Amino acid sequence: MDRIFIEDLLARGVIGVSDRERSRPQDILVNLTVFTEVQKAEISDDINNCTDYRTIAKKVFSLVENSKRHTVEALATDIANLVLQEPYVRGVKVRVEKPGAVRFSKSAGVEIERYNP
């Protein structure tokens, strides 16, 4: 299966359980691997036969910016469900991180994989 990737998409959203975490947006880092088929696009060289990673990035950014989730698990699932609705997408790996969430670490988060039936 072919893959499209979006690395280190940085957005700001409300995520967390404590009052401090929910009081203001915080940095949320998203990485995506989108499983798709590119054969039709490689033959036609036509954008209409592609999984549009720019559109996906914009939709994910908007989702995160408007998010008010308590857990990164729920946000990752929301992102996966959104991406799975895009044309030609067969599956997606979503990694959501909260930079600085754990003391003495660069970031903490979750990574999930979801597939269309």
Number of domains in the chain: 1
Which DSSP string do the residues of 48-89 spell out, in sequence order? GGS--HHHHHHHHHHHHHT-EES-HHHHHHHHHHHHTTSTTE
- Residues 28/12, Cβ–Cβ less than 8 Å: yes
Asked if 59 is an active-site residue, the reply is no
**Residue 96: domain span:** 2-115
pLDDT at 21: 85
The β-bridge partners of 95 are 31, 111
CATH of the domain at 56: 3.30.1130.10
- Other beta carbons within 10 Å of 24: 8
pLDDT band for position 100 (50/70/90)? confident
Residue-wise pLDDT for 33-55, tens only, equals: 999 999 989 999 998 999 999 99
Closest-CA residue to 33 (of 77, 89, 85):
89
User: Residue 117 above 90 pLDDT?
Assistant: no
Which residue out of 59, 68, 93, 98 is catalytically annotated? 98
Mean per-residue pLDDT of the chain: 95
